[in-house]
Amino acid sequence: MRRQPPEGRALHTDGVLYLHETSVDASGRVTHTRIRPKRDEAMRFLIGLKEIPTRRLDRVFAPDALPDLSYLVKLDVDGVEEQLIAGGQRVLRNASFVIIETSIGRQDLCERAALLEQLGFRLFDLCDNVYYYGQLALVDLVMINNRLRAAELKFRPWEYSEGKVHWPKWQHGFKQLDDTPVDDPFA
């Protein structure tokens, strides 16, 4: 079942949205922003409000303006990523990679990954991890286009290594472990 963009949001159409600037640390500086379809003058910690015109991503680029699989797209639009996906499916389908910011607490990680999977992508990596009070709060999902993945052996490590595990290539993601030898547990 395909999810539809929430009612009232407008990045899947051309129009106007409102950028709400907040200062959640009481410094008076903008610390966070949120895009909403309507002005919310009562938003907590609000210090600024801007009207922003919007155009669908598919209208920004002509159909043949971007060569197939020759570009990546980074989506970080303060909470309306799903709507941007809805209005940019043609552009996104032809990207080699899509990087999308996602929150852990709002359950949008699975929703955003699923929307991109429907467009022919698969999770490739996670980066830009943000922790708050020791808990994972935000990550960027790096999604690879399945057509690129199928065409390039280097994006399929199990096949690239002929199905064998090469222990020196096995990484834990911790820099301090890079030089730590890993014994073959099957020896």
Q: Which domains does the chain have, with CATH numbers?
A: 11-54 (no CATH), 56-162 (3.30.110)
**Bridge partners for 74 per DSSP:** 99
Phi, psi (deg, nearest 5) at residue 50: -130, 140
Which pLDDT tens digits describe the chain residue by residue (187 residues)?
344 444 444 456 788 989 999 999 989 999 999 988 899 999 999 999 999 998 999 999 988 899 999 999 999 987 889 989 999 999 999 999 999 999 987 778 999 999 999 999 999 999 999 998 888 999 999 999 999 999 988 888 777 777 777 777 776 666 666 666 666 655 5
pTM listed for this prediction = 0.79
Its sign, for the CA torsion 156, 157, 158, 159, is positive
Q: Give the distance from CA 130 to its chain's centroid.
A: 14
